[in-house]
Structure 1
Amino acid sequence: MLQALELKQKPTLLLVDDRPENLVSLEAVLNDNERIILKAQDGEQALSLLLEHDITLVLLDVQMPGMDGYEVARLMKANPRTREIPILFITATQPDERNMLRGYQHGAIDYIYKPFNTEVLRKKVAVLQELQLSRRCLSVMNRSLDEARSYYAAILSTAAEGILVVDEQGSIRYANPAACELLQCDLDSLEGEQLHHLAIAPDSNIIAWENSVFFQHWRKKLTYRAHDAQLFTPSGQELPVTLSCAPLPAPHRGLVVVFLDNRIPKKLQEQLVKQAVTDTLTGLYNRHGFLQSLQASLSRSGRAHKPLAVLYLDLDGFKRINDTLGHPAGDELLCVMADRLRRCTRAYDTVARLGGDEFTIVLDSMDTPEDAARIAEKILDSLATPIEIQGLKLAVSASIGIATYPDCSENVDGMMQAADMAMYQAKSEGRGQYRFFTAAMNGRARARLMLEESLRQAVATEEFVLHYQPQIMMRDGTLRGFEALLRWQHHQAGLVSPGIFVPLLEETGLITRIGSWVIEKICHQRRLWGNTFPQDMVLSANLSARQFGQSELVDLVFQLLDEHQLFAHQLELEVTESSLMNDIEHSQRVLQALRKKGVRIAIDDFGTGYSSLAYLRQFEIDTLKIDRTFIANALVSPKDAAIVEALVALSHSLDVEVVAEGVETTEQLQWLQQIGCDCVQGFLFAKALPVLEAEQYPAKLDFEKL
């Protein structure tokens, strides 16, 4: 932009003469409104104007007092800013060869003598002016070319990608520094080298240039790209690259090759692939890697008509070791286990850790099922040797399930399920042993799958309903509230026992979806019962361990309370001891948030889990529910009675309400009254009732009539 303005400016003439009348005369001759005229009456003034303005041509009088024209010309020649400005000497002195040479030496272009011919003066000035403007134009263009050359040279030299320029015969004519560095040679070594001898496109070999993919695309004026090409350095080293070739624009006949070093991305890709299939703790395959390997093994066995076996191992008592000695000890044990499993199997067998303390093995190319049994026995014998961890010798056993192909299944899911079922069979029959998948187990597996599918449909079609079991206050028989209990009303089988479907909900992960539905339902029901029951009547719901561990639980509860316009104290959430202990810090945060809002918290089935009295102090709770097993035995077992009495007394000292579950006889009721239990629920008062029957339940009971 600046250069264009520089070329469009009017030419500027500087007239230098010590006589004013001469300046007036010169200005009158040369002023045509197409140029700018500046005037100076001595050398000092002339030099000052030269430094202040962009002068095109100087008309300089030779004879001046003080600093003459030769001195002005000499000083102009010495200054880089003014040395290229042409000088036309004006003099009244007759031509003298010595003076003329002196003037030319100091930068004079020509002379004009007084008295001058005005037409000749105009012509000379016009020619010199045009020459100077042309010179400036060339200078500007050269400067632009130099800048562009420097700019593009900098781009090429600093580019991280290798860049080659190749002629139409395939010979390399230019290589930027990155290309030379990647190919480990200098430009002189690369010049003249054939591109197709250095670059190999995917699925191609070194062939004649005219048959190469590079030449074929260049001839069709197309760009060629390859993400997994290879370059070979002149020394023969292989370099994986991403490569692009594009034809040069006309009139150049050739192509530009740009390539990027792929060694680091390829190495990272290999590492990511390895990480994706490897267990970071043991170095064995992880679940993903194992399933891939099993699929490949099944395909090979199918083609070769050779049987294979899958072994599913679960360590017996690992959780006890982990909880007692800590996770670092547990991790060390798992690593020792992994090493022993490697030693017990063949080099071509696949050993994997699925997670936790579960391991799997694929035994390829078996002759008979007894081969798998021999490996299982070898593993059990290996585990019989105690493992020393933290100075302790630990005896570890494993339960092993074995599924064979093609007897048990012909696909990955079927083999895994069969081996898993067999492992649980081994565990249920005493642990520390192996079991094969049997036909009977297969039948149970099919029944389980059918039940699981029905369960998923029940979730989708909302076959679940809530029944409500009343809770009665001991002080006066008033209704404290209801515990909502989940029931499955199957469309064909009728009412399904919770003991059957709740574990399946847990295993399939559907429990969180159902759990959220339960909370939403009881909030809705509590709002509908707004005028039917007193305001302080409570509805309780059980939270599964999986649901309690969800980060969005608190937000869901608060949203439903607001949506149904309930008081927080009208909702009670029941949590088991094991749920609280999964993550103590998370449990404390959730309980604090819920209780701060006013939601009541109950520990359900207290006494069947960890049963640490410290939890009553550590966790913020409102209610403690004593498990029905203690209540059932309290009248016949002094130990159970002592436990219940101690729990009631301790809870009262901590300002925690006590609810006794499973009260079925008047004798149990009377005894609970004597020890000061706050609240009771059980079959003595009612089973879990459908919603319409629960609405008719009396607000107060007379215990004497029970």
Structure 2
Amino acid sequence: MVLPRISFRSFIFFFMAAAAIIAAGVAFYWQQVSGILEQDVKTHVAAASEEAAADFNRLIQTDRQVLESISITVEDTYPWADPAKLTEFLRRQTRHNYFKLLGVVTEDGKVFLSEPRRFSPTFIADVTARTLEAGHYLSVLQADPSDGEDVLVQSVSLRRHGRPVGALFALQPPERYRPLLALSAMGNKGYSLVVERSGVPVLGYHKPDFGNMFDLLEGVSFDGKMTLPDLRSAVLNGAHFMVGYRDGGERRFLHFIPLEINDWYMISALPTLYVEHQAQHLTWLSLILFVSIFIIFCALIFYILHMRAYSNRQLFDTAFVDQLTGADNFNRMCEQFEEKLAGLNRRAALIIFDINKFKVINDLHGYERGNQVLQRVARVLRENIAPEECFCRSTADNFVLLLKYTDRKSFRARLSALTTQLRRDCTVEDSCLMIDVAFGVYEVAEDIPFYIMLDRAHLALENAKKMSFDKCQFYDESDRKRIVNEKRIENTMEQALDHGDFAVYLQPKCDFATGEMRGAEALVRWNRLEEGLVKPDDFIPIFEKNGFILRLDMFILEEVARLLAAWNIKGLEQVPVAVNFSRLHLNDSRYIPQMLRLVDKYGVAHNLIEVELTESVIFNNLERAQNVMRGLHRQGFSVAMDDFGSGYSSLNVLKSLQFDSIKLDKEFLSGFEDNPHAHKVIEGAVAMIKSLDVQVVAEGVETREQADFLRHTGCDLAQGYYFSRPLPAAEFERLLKKNTPQTQPPDGTKRVD
């Protein structure tokens, strides 16, 4: 069924008519309910105030009875020959009852108190006289003569054999009686007040701030024909009545109840605002009923339009709003990017930033606290983003911003200020973790697609996260070239290994004493047709990241085993060859079995293969390294620590693992000629290693001076360009064929190149 279309004018007329009917009904209902409620509240006020008066009378009487029971004990011990016992008795009774202080006054003026205090003779005389006159006494609210706090004074007379001998009095805090004056039954909207018949206040729920109640009622308009003189006369005559009055537009009820004590009155007051609130509550319930019916009726007419609008909003929120932070999501950024960029005249920068180690926040404080941090980040970004700029939360703790850009200096200052505010406003409470953000910035300079700009900002962000201090990095074209080169290497590495483009080079290790070659280290070179030989530093780190190093290491090991087997067939000397292995092998249970399979395949003695592991690789997985080294030694392989001294863990590794040889890092020799401290460090390191009965190999020996010094320190073997550069396998074989070195250094140290 198709609903007929209603014109806007007809809808307005219909709406106004319905609203007028509802308003008239509510007004009439309000008038009726208000009258009923007013009468009902009067009844409740009377009942509540009468109950409060009865409770007040009862509590005063109870306290007087307590005093009278205490007075019996005091009278029985009269005369009080031992003041200390009387004082202790009063102190106990003070603690066990609701008294601030208890005191005894004798007819001759002696005073005994539950605690040391000073009272004026006038106060003592007044209490004694009033008590003995009537047998008991209850004062109006007055200041404690000792400390000035508000108290009530209540007393009873002390008698012995029918004659008065003194008075027992108590100081009582008014807080004991004030809860009775709150009119809690009236929703704490009203209160009661105890006054003398003259209108002077005695006690209230709050301390009265006026001198006479009747003075407050000057000029007010009472209900009916009641006047202020009539009110005074009724109170003086002890009448029990209720009256309403209006003062300054506010209407109140007053209920007057005479008390049984001192001709006092309890006056209970309740503003009619309470009544109006009750009436308003009922009226609103009725109004809700009327409006609900009206809304249901209108909803039947506009249901289709409403659902269509709601669906559109839901689709928009789902498509373009991040549900956690309320910010734009990545889809919205993509949708409005070109428009925003044009609005900035393309003088803009695209920024990607995220929170460093955000996972730590989730792990330590839970995902709820982590989500709160992200919400605060979005709030800070809103405060710092101009209308023509935009930002979005793309994924997890990753945010993308498009900001106005003029120059790097001012832009860095803006991002620095943003970082400061993020750290201040977004750090998790009760935590020592302060959030740290990194920015990757691409300065929009080319007309390229958004996703390419985003990739370049991501490259800058990766560099920023590696920095210790400057966490804001701008995109550099060299970054893109580096990534492209890494990708090209990854795309060709498999093919290069299959086609034999990787070659093993051997660098001799020479005896310092004789200069003769005692072994070699296998090094890998990549011969790319378009570029020639590629340095290991350009591809080894890439292979470490993608895991290809596992295959390459085993390829080098197999090449070394093949060469050793070939030298044996040719009758050449077989010297030990060191092979470097990546840290990834330590976590590979197949590592040692693969080595055995490859070495045994060519029938090579295991002692001809030396496994080189770097210091950092060992220390980062010390327990696993111990297990692997034990397995290698069981199979007859020797193990060397490479790059000794390059990190901070050398000594710890030395004490924990048993190596066959130690290779001093070449950085030991960097600038040592001009540094006498370096001489002592090297000498000490060599002496310590030799004391462990471990062979010492020095890397990076490039000058005669270095060679002389290292020989005198006791180093066993040298490896470096002074003795020989890394050689292709064919050239290395020619060295093996020679029984004596080709040349000798001038000092007698033999060289092999």
TM-score (norm 2): 0.46
TM-score (norm 1): 0.48
- Greater RCO (CA < 8 Å, at least 6 residues apart): 2
